[in-house]
Structure 1
Amino acid sequence: MSSRREGLARRRSAVGLTQERLAELLGVERSTIYRWESGAVNPQPELQPRLARALEVTAAELSELLGGASAPRAVSPRSSSQPAVRVRPGNANLGARPQDFLAATVVETPVPRRLGNADVEHVRAATRAVASAENLFGGGVSCEASMAQLRWAGRLLDVPASRPVRQDMAEAVGNMAGVAAFAAFDIAEHTVADRCFAFALWCADEAGSWDLRANTLAEMARKATYRGRFDEALELIEYAQVRSDRVTATARVMLATLRARLLALTGRHAHACAEIDRADAEFVDRNAELDPPWLCYYDAAEHQGSTGKALIPIARSGDDPEAAAGRLAKAVELQAAAYPRSRAFSQARLASLLIETGHPRQAVEVGHEAVLAAAAVRSTRLTTELHGLAQAASAYAQVGDVVDLRREIARLG
């Protein structure tokens, strides 16, 4: 195999594709494209037809561009495609840029010959780790890590196992796919998010998990709502509610709250308030011990924040703005240190609502806290929320404190 596949890189450029754009089309990371073009690894067989179509070449021409390789070669740290590095005391020269050195350092983690319960727990533990990083620092920190974990975990679904273990594994991998999807959504990698959501739904079917199915559809609805596709989002939520008797009470509350927000956004305010009343009543009687692991985030703080968010369109119409503001303020008070991004979202929404209802000085105080939190989080969604606050604050551009807040938001980029 050639050390570099110049022809492959030239062909990509000839059809007007960057490494980033080709990676997006194929649903892989940019570093994967780099490794293909550097000759470190071959594309997986299932990706080669799509790669050929993207490059507008035949299968035979693609084989030539790959150096005559018709199938990928497993690469390990001992492979000749990864030059050995001799480490000497006092010699810290990598011989390449850090990202290039690491891109050419590939390992293929082995999978067990047969799955057991311990393997399921390994996947669940990995999911908790990447989900914690995503909650603390946003999708910009955890997206690639969760995708790498997901690609490995997906291989486990082909390993022999008893039916119960296979179902548990499918659910665990689907949960990981949902975390990866939301991390991608958080940084506006919408194509990657859609692929992960689709994989999570497939896993839910394989596992026979109504809870995972409902949660995945809910996350898809959040993404559709964020992009202004309210009818699509409402359809997804109502589809998730088809067998609400099969999911836990917390899941039903979460789905009802999302539906309430969509009803409010589409002008059906009375129906939205009724839905929130039902969600409040069921939340009081829920048993959190029955919830699947991915619903651990939906506690009292999250419920206040979600219902407060649902009430914002009603508050903006002039109908009882105190109800939304009170719930958002309670969410800020309750949200724990493990969920700083959620707290910053509640602060940003509360500040926007205060601005819009004529309380700019209160809004500035809350808004400053949101900006401080956002500086430590890599979240496109949160930055967009804060820019919405800055836009709302333009009505008070003559107020010095408001000017300072808008400047702080602008520095976030």
Structure 2
Amino acid sequence: MLGLDGIPVQGRLGISDVERIRAIVPALYRHDHQLGGGALHDVAADALRRVQQALNQCSYGERVERLLYSAMGDLAASAGWFAYDAGRQEDASRLYSQALQSGMLAADGMLQARVWSNLAMQARLLGRDQEALRIGRAAVDTRQAKNDPWLMTLLHCRQAVGYARTGERIRAERSLARAETAYDRVQGQPAAWLSFLTPAEITGLAGAAHHALGKYDRAEQLTADALAMLEPRFERNRVYYTAQRAQALLDGGRVEQAAAAAGTAVGLAGRVQSERVRDKLGALRHQMRRHAHVSTVADFLEQTRATGA
């Protein structure tokens, strides 16, 4: 599937070998959108080891060397993302560190900005909101982000969620506006790792920001809009945003609708292997236990009793 057998482990590497390595990441992300990182982190890690072996045992020129480090960093950053989504944070941190090193050796500023963005997201997951904001600001200030509206859109969306989580409403709203302005400038197709960044994703992140600000009705509406726009290929994100909508409904006091949405999320989860999604559903179920006297909630709790999610 990934074409690893075509990468030599001895002899001389050329541009065609770099192109084969580059093709691994888009193939992985097509599956990530559907299955989640739990299905891919081991595959990506194995691919990365194969590429490292080729880089260490083969010969190549200076130009190919730089391109190889860039391609290897792209793969390491992707493997880090899959590990992050699978709940393997130590593995993710190690892979992100490797990706940063490769980005430095390749003088690939875009790769480095991408890793900083992912590190900010990981810090937020681990409850380190101020650290996440500082990392995000550093990424926004890079020349690569300023020159790439795709990346800038994502960074501002994530900063908006970060500011909202720390109660900085004006900064959150300003970041959302800047994300929209940046997205108006995008052209062509994004890099494979940014292929999830569609109007649906931007709207869903805006919903997350409004939810963190306590604006639950607005968060629910934005998340519902995101779900309506979301393409079928994004199975994992459909589960994630359906759970996000259920959470907004629950926090807004619309308990029966929340239970229905949560049940839909569980029904959609199917083959998705994402610890992030599982944790989100588990937290939702735990909170719903306070409303077990409501029949629809009781049905949801019974539906998910065996799995806890």
In the superposition, the TM-score normalised over structure 1's length comes to 0.68
Equivalent position to 1:216, from 115, 133, 145? 115
Residue matched to 2:239: 344
Q: Is the 8 A contact 1:244 1:252 kept in 2?
A: no
Give the number of the structure whose alpha-carbon radius of gyration is greater.
1
CA distance in 2 between partners of 1:163 and 1:304 (Å): 43
Q: Is the 8 A contact 2:110 2:144 kept in 1?
A: no
Show CA shifts across 1:5-50 (max 9, x none).
xxxxxxxxxxxxxxxxxxxxxxxxxxxxxxxxxxxxxxxxxxxxxx
Equivalent position to 2:156, from 243, 256, 260? 256
Q: Is the 8 A contact 2:157 2:175 kept in 1?
A: yes
Equivalent runs, 1:185-196 vs 2, <5 Å: 185-196=84-95
CA distance in 1 between partners of 2:306 and 2:177 (Å): 40
Give identity over the alignment, percent.
26
Change (3 A) 1:407 1:165: farther
CA distance in 1 between partners of 2:201 and 2:98 (Å): 26
The structural deviation recorded for 1:110 is 4.3
Runs of 5+ consecutive residues of structure 1 not aligned to the other structure: 1-106
CA distance in 1 between partners of 2:119 and 2:305 (Å): 29
The structural deviation recorded for 1:245 is 5.0
Q: Is the 8 A contact 2:29 2:193 kept in 1?
A: no
SS of 1:285 mapped into structure 2: coil
Equivalent position to 1:398, from 290, 293, 301? 293
CA distance in 2 between partners of 1:179 and 1:410 (Å): 34
CA distance in 1 between partners of 2:228 and 2:101 (Å): 38
Change (3 A) 1:244 1:365: farther
SS of 1:111 mapped into structure 2: coil
Show CA shifts across 1:188-229 (max 9, x none).
221111110001111111222222111111111111111101
The structural deviation recorded for 1:406 is 2.5
The structural deviation recorded for 1:362 is 2.2
Q: Tell me whether 1:277 sits opposite 2:172 in the alignment.
A: no
Equivalent runs, 1:12-31 vs 2, <5 Å: none
Mean CA deviation greater in 257-266 or 326-335: 326-335
CA distance in 2 between partners of 1:238 and 1:401 (Å): 43
Show CA shifts across 1:300-329 (max 9, x none).
121112222122111x2xxx4333222211
Show CA shifts across 1:277-316 (max 9, x none).
1111221222243x333212211121112222122111x2
SS of 2:64 mapped into structure 1: helix
Equivalent runs, 1:130-145 vs 2, <5 Å: 130-145=28-43
Q: Tell me whether 1:307 sits opposite 2:206 in the alignment.
A: yes
Equivalent runs, 1:78-97 vs 2, <5 Å: none
Change (3 A) 1:244 1:373: farther
The structural deviation recorded for 1:393 is 2.1
Given residue 183 of structure 2, which amino acid in structure 1 is its aligned partner? F
Residue matched to 1:113: 11
Residue matched to 1:73: none
Given residue 180 of structure 2, which amino acid in structure 1 is its aligned partner? D
Equivalent position to 2:49, from 151, 164, 167? 151
Q: Is the 8 A contact 1:375 1:412 kept in 2?
A: no
CA distance in 1 between partners of 2:81 and 2:302 (Å): 29
CA distance in 2 between partners of 1:412 and 1:123 (Å): 38
Equivalent position to 1:129, from 9, 12, 27? 27
Change (3 A) 1:393 1:117: same
Q: Which has the higher contact order (CA 8 A, sep 6+)?
A: 2
Over aligned residue pairs, what C-alpha RMSD do you find?
A: 2.0
Runs of 5+ consecutive residues of structure 2 not aligned to the other structure: none
Mean CA deviation greater in 157-166 or 229-238: 157-166
Aligned length: 301
Change (3 A) 1:270 1:277: same
Q: Tell me whether 1:225 sits opposite 2:124 in the alignment.
A: yes
Residue matched to 1:355: 250
Equivalent position to 2:99, from 194, 200, 210? 200
SS of 2:209 mapped into structure 1: helix
SS of 1:286 mapped into structure 2: coil
Change (3 A) 1:224 1:192: same
CA distance in 1 between partners of 2:263 and 2:293 (Å): 18
Change (3 A) 1:175 1:408: farther
